[in-house]
Amino acid sequence: MAKLRLALAQHDFSVGAVAANAARVGDLIAQARTGGAALVAFPELTLSGYPPEDLLLRPSFLAACDSQLAALAAATHGIAALVGHPHSEGEVFNAASLLRDGRVECTAHKQALPNYGVFDDKRYFRPGHESVTTVIDGVTVGLLICEDVWQPEPMAQAAAAGAELVVVVNASPWDEAKQAERAAVLQARARETGCAIAYLNLVGGQDEVVYDGASMLVNGDGSIAARAPAFVDALLWAEFDPATRTLSAENWPLAADSSIEATLYAALVRGTRDYIDKNGFDGVLLGLSGGIDSALTLALAVDALGAQRVTAVMMPTRYTSQLSLDGARAQAEQLGVDYHVISIEATYESFVDALTPAFAGKGADTTEENLQSRIRGVMLMALSNKHRRLLLATGNKSEMAVGYATLYGDMCGAYAPLKDVYKTVVYRLARWRNTAGMTSPSAVESREEPQFRDTALLRIPKSRSPIPEEVIDRPPSAELRDNQTDQDSLPPYDELDAILARFIEGEQSQADIVAQGFDADTVRRVVRLVLLNEFKRRQSAPGPRVTTRAFGRERRYPITSGWR
């Protein structure tokens, strides 16, 4: 029996951009047909983008998706195309339709609707009730959608209907554990059924969620035939041999660095770039303090957008050290960004003078510290408005967890690249970026296919470090009072992050954490701070979700709660 040639469109399809998404689908169908593919597959909800959220409640949006699907079907000849879309027929389904010979030949409805973590499928969709199969070039192919493959029943149904190959289209977000989990699930389904699996995943950033692609081919015996790199747009070619139920990749790009630091950094870069570009901003600006968080954020911004689209602003006061001034300037000059120094000392003094009568009888405390931060926030927002550059907040997950951040101050910003990155991981990423990261974090070996090359190769000379070593090595400090360090107010970050990860990602009780050797008073204090500061996090900027339990879309705790 002849082999089945297929193409997997590991591409980005933006939420709400129905016409543009359809145009890209049409272009990729043409490429796949020219390349001899019998089948080209597209990710989950390609036409609407994923997740479309309450756009699905608008009849006009659903009608636009239906219209574009019909137009694509009418133009599809000489190839079969599997396209994800919302399907409205009284009720709304998460669907994937096979287009062939000028018509919609069949439609699969997603059966397993996830309603955990970042997923809200049950809010919008009704479940399908059967697995769909079709015959392409003599091969029986099962059609499944994302969560369907995480449950055994849908794939078992497809196998019972004669499927030899199952194509699974996905919008599966990245986190630090997800790629290993996916591989284990796919291998289990293949071994259970004997079916080979072509697993296609969406790529790109959408608000707080980042999709990594990392598509896979799994043979019928459960062995992995190929893995695509993360965060790279590519049309991936493959062949299926029905005699052996094996798949083979054709010139798939290879990741230059597949370490967790490289992949995490690429996730942050992709999330930042897509947020800025999809929302139509000319560039970004940020406050550059001479500290590690703003330094890493600046490097990420330059890697995502290029130096010409990034502005950094140092806003010193009497408490700003020479080390901070020198470190910020050195990094800005090294990266070639637009750089400004705007002292806020006079503004701070004027605020204090104006408030002194109302503060009579009260000594200086965190009020004066927060005032400095809020002045900086006002300055940065003014620059953002004037220059149409979106403001990046530079705080990390450790700070956001315990409230070590100032509302309307350093929390100002429309996007926070490090929002889901613990402080200890910030240090790891900074060191990685200065050493192993001397090429693009999502760089690939192109295998002579120029379309695979990353479109945002780093513009930093390979012989130089983008983050000054003295910034990495210094003790972290907010520099809002004399001789201040973070550890005046917080436990050491190694200890703090270990407790936070157990309480937040692990959902462990205080007693369980103490039983693992942590000081009981410290655990109680950290947990108390986490619970007290939910109100701050509700007002924080969105940022890319990269852990298994991100604040905001995923971890949803009440602000007002008597539970301790």
Q: Across residues 316-338, what is the average pLDDT?
A: 93
Q: Across residues 515-532, what is the average pLDDT?
A: 96
User: Higher confidence at residue 240 or residue 557?
Assistant: 240
Which are the contacts of 322, defined by CB distance < 8 A and separation ≥ 6? none
CA distances 526 to 211, 536, 537, Å, are 32, 16, 16
Tell if the pTM clears 0.75, that is, is over it: yes
User: Higher confidence at residue 12 or residue 438?
Assistant: 12
- 333 noted as active-site residue: no
- 195 noted as active-site residue: no
Please name the CATH architecture into which domain 261-476 falls: 3-Layer(aba) Sandwich (3.40)
Active-site option among 65, 146, 195, 412: 146
Tell me what pLDDT residue 393 has: 97
Question: What is the pLDDT confidence band of residue 445, given thresholds at 50, 70 and 90?
Answer: very low
Q: Which amino acid is at 111?
A: Q
CATH topology of 4-252 equal to that of 261-476? no
Q: How far apart are CA 231 and CA 224, in angstroms?
A: 20
The residue among 431, 386, 175 whose CA lies nearest residue 295 is 431
Domain ranges of the chain: 4-252, 261-476
- 412 noted as active-site residue: no
Tokens 């090359």: give the residue. 453
Active-site option among 3, 44, 164, 208: 44
Q: Which two tokens stand for residue 428?
A: 């790891």
Burial, 58: exposed, middle or buried (Cβ in 10 Å; 0-12, 13-18, 19+)? Answer: exposed
What is the phi-psi region of residue 46: left when phi exceeds 0, alpha when psi lies from -120 to 50, beta otherwise?
alpha
The gap from C-alpha 25 to its chain's centroid, in whole angstroms, comes to 23
Question: What is the pLDDT confidence band of residue 561, given thresholds at 50, 70 and 90?
Answer: confident
Q: Hey, is 260 helix, strand or coil?
A: helix
pLDDT at residue 126 is higher than 60: yes
Question: What is the pLDDT confidence band of residue 2, given thresholds at 50, 70 and 90?
Answer: confident
Active-site option among 3, 53, 91, 110: 110
Q: Which two tokens stand for residue 373?
A: 């931060």
CB of 304 within 8 A of CB of 278?
Answer: no
Which are the contacts of 179, defined by CB distance < 8 A and separation ≥ 6? 212, 214, 230, 263
CA distances 23 to 26, 75, 472, Å, are 5, 12, 46
pLDDT at residue 453 is higher than 70: no
Q: What are phi and psi of 487, to 5 degrees?
A: -75, -5
CB of 101 within 8 A of CB of 93?
Answer: no
Angle at 354 between CA 352 and CA 358, to 5 degrees: 90
346-357 per-position pLDDT tens digit: 999 999 999 999
Question: What is the pLDDT confidence band of residue 488, given thresholds at 50, 70 and 90?
Answer: low
pLDDT at residue 458 is higher than 60: no
Q: How far apart are CA 502 and CA 485, in angstroms?
A: 25
Q: How far apart are CA 401 and CA 399, in angstroms?
A: 5
CB of 391 within 8 A of CB of 414?
Answer: yes
Which of the following CATH numbers is that of domain 4-252: 3.40.1160.10, 3.40.50.12240, 3.60.110.10, 3.60.20.10? 3.60.110.10
Tell me what pLDDT residue 436 has: 75
Q: How would you label 374-410 residue by residue, b for 16+ Cβ within 10 Å and e otherwise?
A: bbbbebbbebbeeeebbbbbbbbbbbbbbbbbbbebb
27-70 per-position pLDDT tens digit: 999 999 999 999 999 999 999 999 999 999 999 999 999 999 99
Q: What are phi and psi of 444, to 5 degrees?
A: -130, 155
